Amino acid sequence: MNNLIKGQVFCLGDNIDTDQIIPAKHLVYKTNDPEERKLYGKYALSGLPKGGTFVSEGEYKSPFNIILAGKNFGCGSSREHAPLALKEAGVDVVIAKSFARIFYRNSVDGGFFPPMEYKTTPIFKTGDQAEVDLENSLLKNVRTGETVELGELGFIKEIIKAGDIFSYAKQKGFMK
């Protein structure tokens, strides 16, 4: 896991639910088949109301690797495919005011990306360039120069770095 994530931001509002992240009609693909797994990326955030396009037609990856959202990101069902879909689309970090607990845990346990929280609302537009410093828990808007503190990741950083909760547990000697 890189301690400095740079890229384009995709901005979302409050209460983005798991059916907006990956609609149920796209839960038919095998996650252990690389050709089918990439379809989760293709359809990531395809359940959003019309507005911005996260993944362009015919693509499997998004140009946006940083998601900035409001409160209660990932609410709805306990769909483990939601963080998988975002990761397959190329997301490196999701930053929100708050997360639905199950989405947060699925993101961490699967080792998909660090879910980070902010206290002071950062000012971004979709397409802005950002830098996320995981070591110092900072988010910088390259366009404006504004820097906002993020919540500390603590040991969650170790789980993401290990690859998932099971790899972390093996590294720590909790399981064989």
**What are the pLDDT digits (tens) for 149-172?**
999 999 899 999 999 999 999 999
Distance CA 176, CA 3 (A): 28
Average pLDDT (44-64) is 92
d(CA 78, CA 69): 19
pLDDT at residue 1 tops 80: no
E strand segments, the chain: 4-11, 64-69, 93-96, 115-117, 129-133, 138-141, 147-149
Tell me the pLDDT tens digit for each residue of 6-45.
999 999 999 999 999 999 999 999 999 999 999 999 999 9
Cα–chain center distance at 131: 15
Domains of the chain: 4-171 (3.20.19.10)
